[in-house]
Amino acid sequence: MQNYGIHIWSDDNYIIDNDKLKINYKSSPAIFEIVKEIRNGGLNGPLILRFPHLIEKQIDALYHHFTRAYDELDYQGKFQAVFPLKVNQYPYFIKALLQKGLPYHYGLEAGSKAELLIAMTYGNKNAPILVNGFKDRELITMGFLSAKMGQDITLTIEGIHELESIIEVAKIQQTMIPKIGLRIKIHSAGIGLWAKSGGVNSKFGLTSTELMEAMSLMKKHNLLEHFTMIHFHIGSQMTSIAPLKKALKEAGNVYSDLIKLGAHHLESINLGGGLAIEYAQNSKQVHYSMQEYTNDVVFVLQSIAKAKNVKEPNIIVESGRFIAAPHAMLVAPVFELFSEEYDEKALQLKEHNPPLIDELKALFLDINKDNAREFLHDSFDHLHSLFTLFDLGYVDLIDRSNSEILVNLIMKKSIILLKDENLDTLLQMQEHIQEKYLVNFSLFQSMADFWGLKQHFPVMPLSKLDEKPIHSAILWDITCDSDGEISFDTNEPLYLHSVDVAKEEYFLGFFLIGAYQEVLGMKHNLFMHPTEATIEITEDDYSVKNIIKSASIIDILDDLDYDINEIQNILSKHIKSSAFIHESEQEEILHKITELLHENGYLNTID
């Protein structure tokens, strides 16, 4: 994996040029340089970088492929995309999305009151607002108010009682009635980690019987003219297209039959999300292309409309992951490499060592290219024996420390000796000689889906790319939780470089984190949303905009409802009453603590 699989996951968004990873767009700046510039302002901890050009690219791709498929098949419906806010509600993402989506009247989908408020406030003019999810009277009333404000809003019904609420609210707010959508329960389920959204047992949607009931309720209350859309969503990150095709057939037939039953204003099918992102670094996991996806969708819906002799439906998509994932990356500084603790200088060999230790020493001195593998294995055997001897009381703590150091030195030497060997040899050694990299970020905050679902995100260093990386790595985050670790299959290791982080900075980039991760992020150990910045790239330069610093310790505690004045008063009392602090120092110590309270909670690697 010498290029860290960028030919698989990066969609040509990044290139390796000499030693650096660069953004493959216009002036192609090196990410390393951008990061240095931002951190020169004194910002420590991890960074989220947003790239608006990658939002634009995804939006354009979606429209390009649907438009092409429409043209090829002479499809009669319209195409419309909306962004589901739950995927990323952060303002500098949403504002960039809406701006890039302006030419397409790109819409928003909301699943809660707070999201609806974002949509009503920031949504593009003449762009649709769709409301999914469970709704109470209040939320439905908000929908009516939005319609009164002249917005193109559709309330999608997830259950019959919601329709009953709409009927109630419509009696009071008669003037402007929002459009109504019905979410249908799809019989065929999705696949992959997020498949639960589809299928008969899915949380959402109406069964055929409920659809009929909804039809007669709408008829009875004169709402049928507002019923314009049916909706389904088979789950996120569908890695193959077959389940979608099945669902489309179901939805296409429901659409046609509802029209025949009198839904004369029904004109759109909303396919929800599901369009996948390739996260893999070793071999592809998404088994279809955009071309295939769009051709299949348009073809299936056209065939059914033709066969049933109804008009071809407008197609609405709610792609979230596909639009948002590529736009953001996380940059995290490496804080420490763990084998560095084992330095030859730390050895405390005795005049008379246990024989196994003398043997380890001999292995270390005599190891060469030809015997490296054998010596390495011998040294592991010795180490295990020495541990047993320690437990039995035959060797002491100094011996034990010496044996750990010697084995580690043997490992390091063998890595260097074998670094030009073929991959198989190296792979065989993997599990013994993985190097632990302590990385200044929180997995729980920044990659919640890795913690929750073992979703892999591409990772690679931003510099030293002209140097052969020799350590097969395990990544540790800085939380005090043993789940805060990313390990790699020993058949598909992540190789990182040997660096002395006291002398040079070494950053890891985690990619495709723009969908779901930010808002799912947890405050475990009180590590908060990292500092973020928007990077705009021009023909000959780039600019860093919209820097939002990670929350300070004061804000974190305030957020947990601690009383900040109380904290400061108590600390001040501790300082004043301490027997170890002279009166003349009190002011300075208090000042230092206050300063610290205004920093963020991540490790400080900037001196």
Ligand X SMILES: *Cc1c(COP(=O)(O)O)cnc(C)c1O
Q: Give contact residues for ligand X (rule: CB under 6 A).
A: 84, 86-87, 132, 233, 236, 272-275, 318-322, 515
- Residue (106 or 507) nearer to ligand X, CB: 106
> Given the DSSP bridges, would you call strands 268-270 and 314-317 parallel, antiparallel or unpaired?
parallel
DSSP 8-class letter at 550: P
- Least separation, in Å, of the C-beta of 248 and ligand X? 15
- Residue (244 or 332) nearer to ligand X, CB: 244
Q: Minimal CA–CA distance to 596: which of 534, 539, 554, 568?
A: 554
- Residue (197 or 600) nearer to ligand X, CB: 197
- Least separation, in Å, of the C-beta of 521 and ligand X? 17
On the CB side of 87, CA atoms within 13 Å amount to 30
- Least separation, in Å, of the C-beta of 103 and ligand X? 21
- In degrees, rounded to 5, the angle at the alpha carbon of residue 309 between the alpha carbons of residues 305 and 314 is 35
| C-beta separation of 449 from 455 below 8 A | yes
- Residue (423 or 453) nearer to ligand X, CB: 453
- Least separation, in Å, of the C-beta of 320 and ligand X? 3
Exposure string of 498-510, with b = 16+ CB inside 10 Å and e = fewer, is bbebeeebbbbbb
Residues pairing with 20 in the sheet: 17
- Residue (113 or 148) nearer to ligand X, CB: 113
- Residue (520 or 593) nearer to ligand X, CB: 520
- Residue (22 or 456) nearer to ligand X, CB: 456
Q: Minimal CA–CA distance to 227: which of 262, 251, 193, 253?
A: 262
CB-based contacts of 160-166 (< 8 A; 24+ apart in sequence): 160/206, 160/210, 160/213, 160/214, 160/217, 162/134, 162/135, 163/214, 163/217, 163/218, 164/217, 165/135, 165/136, 165/137, 165/140, 166/140, 166/223
- Least separation, in Å, of the C-beta of 517 and ligand X? 12
Rg of the chain, C-alpha, whole Å: 30
- Least separation, in Å, of the C-beta of 133 and ligand X? 8
Alpha-carbon span 238 to 225, nearest angstrom: 34
- Least separation, in Å, of the C-beta of 87 and ligand X? 5
Q: Which amino acid is at 490?
A: T
Q: Which amino acid is at 14?
A: Y
- Residue (321 or 524) nearer to ligand X, CB: 321
10 Å CB burial of residue 447 (0-12, 13-18, 19+) is buried
| C-beta separation of 165 from 217 below 8 A | no
- Least separation, in Å, of the C-beta of 328 and ligand X? 14
- Least separation, in Å, of the C-beta of 84 and ligand X? 4
- Residue (455 or 546) nearer to ligand X, CB: 455
The alpha helices in 475-552, defined as continuous H runs, are: 517-520
> Given the DSSP bridges, would you call strands 485-486 and 179-183 parallel, antiparallel or unpaired?
unpaired
On the CB side of 138, CA atoms within 13 Å amount to 5
Q: Which residue is nearest to ligand X (CB)?
A: 273
- Residue (135 or 233) nearer to ligand X, CB: 233
Alpha-carbon span 322 to 97, nearest angstrom: 13
Give 3-state DSSP helix, strand, coil % of the chain, rounded to 5.
45, 15, 40
- Least separation, in Å, of the C-beta of 362 and ligand X? 59
- Least separation, in Å, of the C-beta of 111 and ligand X? 7
DSSP 8-class letter at 30: B
- Residue (154 or 319) nearer to ligand X, CB: 319
Alpha-carbon span 431 to 444, nearest angstrom: 25
- Least separation, in Å, of the C-beta of 233 and ligand X? 4
- Residue (320 or 493) nearer to ligand X, CB: 320
- Least separation, in Å, of the C-beta of 128 and ligand X? 13
Alpha-carbon span 271 to 257, nearest angstrom: 17
Residues pairing with 445 in the sheet: none
- Residue (135 or 321) nearer to ligand X, CB: 321
In the numeric block, the tokens 């109470």 are attached to 136
